Amino acid sequence: MKSFRVDLRSDTVTKPSAAMRKAMAEAEVGDDWFGDDPTVNRLQERAAETTGKEAALYVPSGTMANQIALRLHFSGPGHLVVAEPLSHVASTEVMSAAVLSGIAYRTVHGDRRGRISADQVRAALEPDEPYDVEIVDLVCLENTSGHAGGTVMDVEDFRAVRKVAEEAGVAVHLDGARIFNASAASGVDVAEYAAEVDTLMFCVSKGLGAPIGSLVCGSAEQMREGRRIKILFGGAWRQAGVVAAAGLVALEEGPQRLHEDHERAGRLGEAVAEIVPGSLDPSDVETNMVFADTEASMAMTPLEVANRLEDHGVGASVVSGKVRMVTHVDIADEDVETAIAAWRAVAAG
Ligand SMILES: Cc1ncc(COP(=O)(O)O)c(C=O)c1O
């Protein structure tokens, strides 16, 4: 088992806080298949209130949340979903989508921050006359974009994409695994982003700090069908109130402190840019992620750098061909300084 003094591999590595553990120990539970787990129901109600959607569905993972939403909008194998190639649904989840729903993607390359424009979406939704075989059921957006640097998509861009999709009669889903990070960085309420999409999902298990779980949000009718798909996908998780209790604490307390993660990522990004000139532009650090390009600047592969950082007790991962470090609730200022010292040591060879 790997153990790090400072674990920056992801914001999913956090341990539940004392308040979460207490809430979990005391959680009122029931059988979630029957819909009678009161703690799950409370979390779903809070998620719906927070996003401004009619209803929400608590599920074990972000992948399951996305896959339920995709299936909801998807009318059958042979149809297409429009997404950016770096997006989680079109990269990590590409096989899940193929296996579970027979989904194929029409990928649209966004800018270097992973953002696709309304004009690109319009072009992707144009009917394929005269052949008449390509049908797009859904446009999927991601905010923040995890593989493109934790970057934030503006709410105006959401509005523009939504308008184009609406004109074409196509639904929009938001992978908002880290939508609260986007909201903390932009000052735009999560509900404002949610208003521009038909469905969204967000994770309580990432920046918000809960151990397990994600929420799919949408209309009451969508969530009724979503519940059926959740059960089909094996997600009827019985006394899930034990973990939903931590999700409630995460939803209450997590959003208020995300700006601290962003500040620490900013400090780390500035330091790495100084230690390894050319590895990153500090202004690219918009939320809790720092991506360093080490191939050109250090003549070391990202895996080599991650392994060397590990020798110094610092966990980093390799994403999109770069070294990725993610700040989270278990990272304090001194941990950032430890990580910076490790980068200095690695750069010094
Ligand atoms: C943007 C994004 N969406 C979805 C997921 C899937 O979440 P999970 O790991 O809980 O399945 C992730 C996981 O890192 C992610 O970064």
145 lines ligand 1 (CB under 6 A): no
Residue 12 Cα to ligand 1 middle (Å): 9
How far is residue 199's CA from residue 129's CA, in Å, rounded to a whole number? 29
Q: Could you tell me if the CB of 63 is within 6 A of ligand 1?
A: yes
Structure tokens given for 269: 């990004």
**CA 310/CA 177 separation, integer angstroms:** 27
The DSSP call for residue 214 is E
How far away, in angstroms, is 19 Cα from ligand 1 center? 24
Hey, which bits of 35-145 come out as E strands? Answer: 55-59, 80-83, 104-107, 136-142
Instruction: Count Cβ atoms below 10 Å from residue 54 Cβ, excluding itself.
Output: 13
Pair of tokens at residue 300: 């070391």
Which residue, judged by its Cα, is nearest atom 13 of ligand 1?
Answer: 62
Q: Give the residue carrying structure tokens 């989270």.
A: 328
CA atoms within 13 A on the CB side of 178: 35
DSSP state of 9: S
Q: Which two tokens stand for residue 192?
A: 């404002």
Helix (H, G, I), strand (E, B) or coil at 293: coil
Protein residue closest via CA to atom 8 of ligand 1: 62
Q: What is the 3-state composition of the chain as percent helix, strand, coil, each rounded to the nearest 5?
A: 45, 15, 40
Residue 73 in contact with residue 138, Cβ under 8 Å? yes
Q: What is the pLDDT along the chain (349 residues), one digit of tens a residue?
A: 778 999 999 999 999 999 999 999 999 999 999 999 999 999 999 999 999 999 999 999 999 999 999 999 999 888 999 999 999 999 999 999 999 999 999 999 999 999 999 999 999 999 888 888 899 999 999 999 999 999 999 999 999 999 999 999 999 999 999 999 999 999 999 999 999 999 999 999 999 999 999 999 999 999 999 999 999 999 999 999 999 999 999 999 999 999 999 999 999 999 999 999 999 999 999 999 999 999 988 889 999 999 999 999 999 999 999 999 999 999 999 999 999 999 999 999 8
